[in-house]
Structure 1
Amino acid sequence: MTPTISNEHTLALARRVLGIEAEAVQTLAGRLDGAFIEAVQLILSCHGRVIVSGIGKSGHIARKIASTMASTGTPAYFVHAAEAVHGDLGMITREDVLIALSNSGEGDELLTVVPLVKRQGGRLIAITGNAASSLAQEADVHLDAGVREEACPLNLAPTASTTAALALGDALAVALLDARGFGAEDFARSHPGGALGRKLLTHVADVMRPLAEIPRADEDTLIPAALLAMSRGKMGLITVLDGDNRLQGVFTDGDLRRALERLGDLRTVSVGELMTRRPRTIGANRLAVEAVEMMELHKINQLLVVDDAGRLEGALNMHDLFRAKVI
């Protein structure tokens, strides 16, 4: 039988949970001091890797902190405390920094690992909820993530304490990111499969249609012949080049519609009479996302790609950018 709930009670309980966890993080912010600076400096001076370890719910938080650090410029990985004492300790070297998470600071697994790590020269940052705990006392730097109460009505399930530890780990990762000068392009390089990676790593040259596929005509080509070439090119444009492939102008389907409204019969009109002589262009080495911005700003659907001397190298339109998942 499905339990029944009181809507008002359920919402009140949820708001209480969020309030307790928000208070825990806010209190944590006011408690930051020189120990946090020491932790950042210790990690920045590390010549090895940052190992983040914990067990139980703290282990889940430790894994997320390691992942965040690794994706924001601080080489880091997670080692489960229980696995460490059964062989994975060999992954940790004297050049590494260990960040150990435990709310109580008294977990047997971590307390078994810590002396072994310190014996071989590794440094320890402890994140606990108890500054008097054994783990805190063993640490080179202790970060206090203690909370007044858990959000669990029984005050038992790790809730506010794990939120506080996670927030503290995020604060460390962001402080390190800033200190290293880690930027959006660096982030994209560590996330090449994501949307940001595509936006920041894809260049115009990667998505443009090559010169051989771009329809072209002479200035004196009559419009009917130009339209046939335009249709074959399937880009809605035809380019006009000089003998050295320098761009002289472009005639688009938009130019065609406007000319038909103005002139009607175009059978004896040449491309040179109707083309746009200074079309929008972009370099092949520019980011594809810049091409998107230019198209949106000028309300156009195509861009011609030219080199520094104005020679045509290719072209692209919105469909090409959609296919490349840049937009």
Structure 2
Amino acid sequence: MKVAVVGAGAIGAYVGAALDRGGAEVHLLARGAHLEAMRERGVTVLSERGDFHAHPHATDDPASIGPVDIVFLGLKAYSYRDAGPLLAPLLRPGTGVVAAQNGIPWWYFHGLPGPYEGRRIEAVDPEGAVSAAIPLESAIGCVVYCSAEITSPGVIRHVEGTRFSIGEPSGVVSPRCLAFSEAMVAGGLKCPVVPDLRSDIWLKLLGNVAFNPVSVLTRATMGAIAEHPGTRELVLSMMRETASIASCLGSLPKISVERRFEGAAKVGEHKTSMLMDFEAGKPLETDVLLAAPVELARLVGVPAPTLELVHGLIDLLTVEARALASS
């Protein structure tokens, strides 16, 4: 199997190194010092599960890779609309684009029978820009249960988790999903092919929709947010509203809000990825994590006052942060 990892940051490089270890033909697309280090020395993975090293091909030119069987998309979701030039040389009929993103994907209503089949979600696919960059027929969903970080160029520290659940928007268990799953498993990762991936998307979103923006607004860790009575109730309210939206769309999360909350609270004194991005001055994934659920709540007629409130606050905060950075 020939795989291109577009956006070979922490997660992308970790997946690419694992696939290479499992025998796949892997090409890493990256830039800067991280790219140069991977070109010269390969990828070193540090993990409690066992350190390992791999040296797949690394480049900043997708044309040098050519068409592939699978593109593993390791970019942040807000970068998808601009990914067309990177993806075009890699795609051929049948190529799957495994989008390892958080939140609501641009393909959500693609292949989903019902009253909203084919509907575009403006928050995640503004004016169809993402669908134009990533053809819907190429999309393969991916819910990531893995954490990793770049400790230095070319060196990845695997923090926890090895599961990457994947699935076609139509729910069909396709040959391309099965082939990619086999390649991931050969590399030491878990990659179940899930017919109803939307339920997994909502389950993960239950935590991210609340803990991520609240952490940015308060600068608090997940443990502190869970322990404080006020933020605890705020988070639970956001999670309940999100579960109601999912239920109205036919994808009731597989566990209760309370159980999902307790699982997130056990993470303890840990900063969310959104808070770390905010502190680093990076853009935030609020469109897929918060704006999209708000849009869907309005679509199905579910009251979501807490989600609306927090979305307004985080939106203003990011506008002010951008203005300050440009001044």
* TM-score category of the 2 structures, normalised to the smaller one: under 0.3
TM-score (norm 2): 0.21
Q: State the structure with bigger RCO (CA 8 A, min sep 6), 1 or 2.
A: 2
* Max Rg structure: 1
TM-score (norm 1): 0.21
